[in-house]
Chains A and B, each alone.
Chain A
Amino acid sequence: MNILVFVKRVPDTESRIRIQHETRTIVEDGLNFIISPYDEYAVEEALRLKEAKGGAVRVVSAGRDETAAVLRKCLAMGADEVLLVKDDVPETYDGLRTARILARTVERKLAGADLLLFGKQSVGADNSQVPAMVAELLGLPQATVVTKLEVEGTSATAWREIEGGLEKVALPLPAVISAQKGLNEPRYETLKGIMAAKKKPVPVVTLEELGFAAGDLVPAVEATGLDVPAARQAGRILKGDAAETARELVRLLRDEAKVI
């Protein structure tokens, strides 16, 4: 199987987010960057499929030079090749812009894949847009937020999470799948894998090489504000006997908060 995986470099989920108000961007100083956690499930699923059925796993990411570190992690996990699409524009929150870049990358550089795997969303922009948009731009079927995937010959069955249950989706290949937590348990890189990954190249393709002209990728999303939520005030703390505190809490919920 020829599998493509798309990943993004994002701030660690333990990060405290600070805002640069004038530029409406987050402050990157002091942040630790990682591969978006959902993307890790996608990489793991690709590696497992390759181990079971043969083939190759290629991982793609669009971003600045620093993104190479995330791609090296994928190499260390066992990916065969990576490709960095160099895009120096900071976060635009415009999923369609990213999808256009990735779909063009597939068409021009990575044609012939059987399966395109994504994380269900990047942890950060939280857009949940790019997988379905790439599917539409390439005319491929999709299953998003997938917790179980079976591939048999030229078709796949995916189980996707919905409110209070699952949807079973039947797909012909090639298809786009986006991974949800629960799909698998991603492996850790081995020391040997990390050492080998250091020696592997991280090829770079530019937006110009993909045929984009200046002005082709102007974001259609204009940020007019970026704020951190107002801090909640610590409330009333009850201590003492379990029965008494429980009774007092229920009284407060009824008489003061009026929530019950």
Chain B
Amino acid sequence: MIAAYLEIRDGKIKKSSLEALSEAKRRAAELGTETAAVLAGAAVSGLAPAAFSQGAAKVYVIENKALADYSSQSYAIALAGFAAAAKPAALFFAATAMGKDLAPRVAARLGAALATDCTKVAVKDGALEFTRPIYAGKAFLTLRLKSTPQLATLRPNVFPLGQAVGGAGETIKVEAASSEGAAQGRVVEVIKEESAELDVTEADVVVSGGRGLKGADAFPLLRDLAAVFPRAAVGASRSAVDSGWIGHQHQVGQTGKTVSPELYMAIGISGAIQHLAGMSSSKFIVAVNKDPEAPIFKVADYGIVGDLFEVVPRLTDELKKTLAE
């Protein structure tokens, strides 16, 4: 069995978790084994149909009032309980803030190794092989896990969602071991950014600004450009972040986030090696820079040599017109 843990935010299963479930299904089919999903929380069984429609044959439900608020300790106990009951060969998580907090805790509890932030899972000679970026994408490591279950977190936005299918399967309740006293380190509040912006790692289009913007005042130009697309986010280079023009959660590159959107637009970014590491796996790259020698043009599919303050507003207008057609 290959299982996927489904993370719940705002009462819904995260898209990146469904991507992990879709990948679990593809690899399970290749290995001739079944696919399962795991839900954990205070009241989560109502979400089982969403897991069935994404291809899970079984949905394991761990319901316990102690799981109402997220705590890595109590959730790790719950998932270790699932692993003991179902004995999956592999368990996938989405490499989200929660997945990266929880999966290593589960791994340590089960004494099993973990592959973080995988961008590819393959079956070779009957075994799973995981490929993941290291050095923020300057190199890619392919590895096998010699312990059971094989644990992996899968990078959001990389693995395609499977076709939704009708049908239902088996729902299996798992008793969570009592987590009384173990639920220390608990989330007491979730504070959303006022703008409720999409995270750069989750966006289909990332519009990033660098030193060429010359100040925080220019970022609205980028926000306007990003707003043209349905699922876009604003990113930034390290120098823009270190200059205090935008928060570090927007930083793309080594010591920031690694992104692989459909379209990455580098505006006024020269393309230092740390930045290139974080965005070179984007499907298409566009660069706007006044320096024709900027290294960013070496990785860009399309580049405009010009003054971003003139180019970007016109680009925004042209995109609006085209997307409205």
Contacts and interface: CB of A to CB of B under 8 A. Distances in A.
A and B, one complex? Answer: yes
Interface of A: 11, 13-17, 19, 24, 26, 37-38, 93-96, 99, 123-137, 140-145, 147, 159-172, 175, 180-182, 219-229, 232, 234-240, 242-243, 245-247, 249-250, 252-254, 257, 259-260
A137 to B, nearest CB: 5
Interface stretch (B32-40, B208-216, B311-319): B311-319
Contacts of B112: 96, 220
Contacts of A252: 302
Which of B70, B104, B323 has the most chain A CB within a 10 Å cutoff? B104
B191 A163 contact: no
A226 B307 contact: no
A245 B311 CA distance: 8
B101 to A, nearest CB: 5
B255 A123 contact: yes
Interface string B120-154: 00001000010111111111111111110000000
B254 A13 contact: yes
B188 A234 contact: no
Q: Across chains A and B, which 6 residue pairs bring their CB atoms closest together, nearest first?
A: A141-B185, A225-B142, A136-B108, A220-B113, A242-B310, A235-B301
Contact of A133 (B107, B141, B251, B303): B107
Which applies to chain A's interface (DSSP): helix, strand, loop or mixed?
mixed
Given A220-B145, A221-B115, 6 more contacts: A15-B138, A17-B138, A127-B116, A220-B147, A240-B306, A250-B318
Contacts of B117: 126, 128
B226 interface: no
A38 B97 CA distance: 16
Interface string B281-294: 10111100000100
B308 to A, nearest CB: 9
Contact of B319 (A11, A167, A243, A260): A260
A137 B187 CA distance: 21
25 contacts: A93-B141, A99-B104, A99-B108, A132-B72, A134-B108, A142-B105, A143-B185, A162-B190, A164-B196, A168-B188, A168-B191, A170-B185, A172-B184, A172-B185, A181-B248, A181-B256, A227-B140, A229-B281, A237-B297, A242-B310, A246-B304, A246-B317, A253-B263, A259-B263, A260-B322
Interface of B: 9, 70-73, 76, 96-98, 100-105, 107-109, 111-117, 124, 129, 131-147, 184-193, 196-199, 201-202, 229, 241, 247-249, 251, 254-256, 262-263, 272-274, 280-281, 283-286, 292, 297-307, 310-311, 314-315, 317-319, 322-323
Given A38-B255, A226-B141, A242-B306, A144 B101 contact: yes
Contacts of A238: 302-305
Contacts of A182: 247-249
A140 B184 CA distance: 8
Given A141-B185, A226-B139, A229-B140, A253 B286 contact: yes
Nearest to B124: A224
Contacts of A170: 185-186, 188
A253 B142 contact: no
A123 B255 CA distance: 7
A229 to B, nearest CB: 6
A96 B107 CA distance: 8
